[in-house]
Copies of this chain bind each other. A is one copy, B any other.
């Protein structure tokens, strides 16, 4: 039995049971355990399954409960650097919009002792700032359980009812050519509502996302007045952005 056939059978079994065991499947494939392991390593590399100690499991099962906390831990150091700078822009008494991105979420520890008013559509932010000195206002509407945030018409209208001194928005992609882009229309919708009803909008974006486009472009680069990024961004790039009148805070 060659690799292709074994691959077939492994995937098949995985679809059926969700998990497989090296010891169990080796005789079924008429091969040794070490070969099975090698097969699994290859399939894991291709993203077709997730290795476990002693076997493998379906991708969907392994990723099921990815907590917000974990997502927010990706590139944690850069994000903290950005968030410290973002928080420094806020003054006591400000009314602040915060969007629902994982970067913005990390601003919480830096602002929880300020006497400000926060309007947000992010449940993790509300939970995090509950009981702090920040006065909270949640933008209601349909809840997206994946992003743990409200979205849609109602949420947009909620932001439009208020005027904020400052808004802080995480962005998925930005480039000189195509401006701002998002991974979903819903995100873009909220971003625009937030930005248009704040006196100053600060876009947060770690350096890895500079000059990267997402599938849904929704605003030109001229729309961006303040961009906060981390110190890993190249000097040349920063200069180019500045020449387009983007205020860079690095």
Contact = CB atoms under 8 A, between A and B. Distances in A.
A232 interface: no
A177 interface: no
Q: How many copies does the complex hold?
A: 2
Given A57-B5, A64-B11, A138 B161 contact: no
A158 interface: yes
A141 B143 contact: no
B57 A131 contact: no
Given A4-B19, A127-B63, A69 B55 contact: no
A94 B138 CA distance: 25
A8 interface: yes
B137 A142 contact: yes
Contacts of A140: 121, 137-141, 150, 154-155, 158
Interface in A35-92: 46-48, 50, 52-55, 57, 59, 61-65, 67, 69-70
A144 to B, nearest CB: 9
